[in-house]
Copies of this chain bind each other. A is one copy, B any other.
Amino acid sequence: MGIIVQKYGGTSVAGPERIQKVAARVCRAVDAGNQVVVVVSAQGDTTDQLLEMARAISPRPPKRELDMLLATGEQISIALLAMAIDALGYKVISLTGAQGGIMTDEHHTKAKIRKVNGERITTELKRGAIVIVAGFQGVTADNNITTLGRGGSDTTAVAVAAALQADICEIYTDVAGVYSADPRMVPDARLLPEVGYDEMLELASLGALILQPRAVEVAAIYGVPLHVRSSFQDCPGTIVREVEDVEKAVSVTGVASDDNCAQITIIGVPQEVNTLQLVFASLAEEGINVDMIVKASGRAATTNLSFTVQRSDLQSALEAIHHLPGAGQWEISANEDVAKVSIVGAGMMTNPGVAAAMFDVLAEEGVPVELVTTSEIKVSCLVPRKRLKDAVSSCHRRFCLHEAK
C-alpha cells in the first residue's frame, strides 16, 4: 500500500459534475489499495471573480487582505470535493492550507513554502480517511493566511508528497501531458512519455505552463516522481523523474515558449559601483522574478543592462528602479512586445553546436533575436512577440521533434 498525492487544477473542479468525476477518480485510487491525499485549486475562474470583488472596493488592496480573500477559493473547492467523496461512501476530510500544516514565509500573494508539518495529514490517513488539502495557500508562523501565487497548487502537492514520502505525485491538468512544443503553435508537437526534472524545469519555467517550476524544483530535490496526466481523458501522460542515462538523452527534447514577458533596458549604468546589485536587490524586495539578464561588458565608465520580467510585474519593476539612487542619470526603457523561445534538452551538454543550429534557423526564418541566455540544457532567445509562433515552429522542425526518438 502506497501513498499517492493527486493534484487537480481549477478547470478539473469547475462545476458539480466535474467535482463528482474527480471524486470517482480519487476513490478508484483508494480501491486500488492506496492512501490518497488530494490537493485542489480554486474552481475555474473563482480567483478572478474574487479579484474583481477586491478591485470594486480598492484599487490597491493590502496584500495580506488579498490573501485572506483569495484563500476562500480553495476552501470552497476542498469542502465540495469532500462532500462528493463522502457521497460515494468513502471516509474523507478536507483541510485548509493552515490545517494541513503548509507553513510559508511572510511574502503575501507570493509566499514560499518553508515546511510542511505533515502530522495532521498523517493522522487522518491513519484513521483511514482520504485527505483533501487546499492548494495555493499556507500560513505564516504568526498565523496569517498566505497564498503562493498563481499555480502554487502544484508546489503544495509536491511539497506534501515530499513530506509524506509519497510514492508518486500525480498532477491532473487539462492537457494530456508534456509536449515537445505548445500544440497550439505547433500542430505536430509530440507527447513526451518521460522527461528529466531539469528538462521539465526548463520547459516549465520557459512557459510550458503545465507545471510550476517551483514544484519541479521541490520534486527534484526530494526525488518525488511526478506524473502529469489529463483529468478528462484516460491517457498515459508524462512521467517526470531523474533521467539516469544522460548519454542516451536526445540533444533537444522540446521547444518552450513564453509570451508573458517584458524587457527592461537601462543605459548608462556606472561600471565601478554596486549598481547591478542595487537594481536586482530592489526587484527581489518587491518579489519580482528577473529572468534573462544580459550586461554589456567593456572598458567604458558606464555600461548597459537588459533583462526580462513577467509582464504583470513590469510597472512595479519600473517603479522600483526609478526609486534607486542615481536612477535620474540613467536612460530606462521598456518593451512589452517580446516573447521568449527556448530549446531544452538534457543531452545538449554533450552535443555541441545545438545553439548554433538554433541561431541558424531563426536567421533563416528572419526572426530577429534581442537577447540570448544559455544554460547547460537550454538556449533561450528573446524575439518580437508577433514572431514567436514562427520561431517555435522552425526550431521544432529543425530538431525533428515531431518524430518519436
- Distance of A68 from chain B, by nearest CB (Å): 4
The verdict on A62 contacting B86 (CB below 8 Å), with A16-B57, A20-B57, A56-B16 known, is yes
Contact for A94 among B68, B75, B79, B96, CB less than 8 A: B68
The verdict on A75 contacting B76 (CB below 8 Å), with A82-B65, A83-B58, A83-B61 known, is no
Q: A54-B83, A57-B87, A65-B94 are in contact. List 15 more A-B contacts (CB 8 A).
A: A16-B57, A53-B76, A54-B80, A57-B80, A65-B79, A66-B79, A68-B78, A68-B82, A68-B94, A68-B96, A69-B76, A71-B75, A72-B75, A72-B79, A99-B144
Interface status of A171 (Cβ within 8 A of chain B) = no
CA distance A20 to B19 in the complex (A): 36
Nearest residue, chain B, Cβ from A69: B79
Tell me the residues in window 128-164 of chain A with beta carbons closer than 8 Å to chain B beta carbons: 143-145
CA distance A86 to B143 in the complex (A): 21
The verdict on A58 contacting B84 (CB below 8 Å), with A94-B65, A94-B68 known, is yes
Interface 1/0 per residue, A82-103 and B, CB below 8 Å = 1110110000011010110000
- Distance of A187 from chain B, by nearest CB (Å): 38
Question: A65, A66, A120, A143 — which one has the most chain B CB atoms within 10 A of its CB?
Answer: A65
Query: What B residues does A80 contact at CB under 8 A?
Result: 53-54, 57, 69
Nearest residue, chain B, Cβ from A120: B143
Inter-subunit contact A86/B69 (CB<8 Å) = no
Tell me the residues in window 20-56 of chain A with beta carbons closer than 8 Å to chain B beta carbons: 20, 50, 53-54, 56
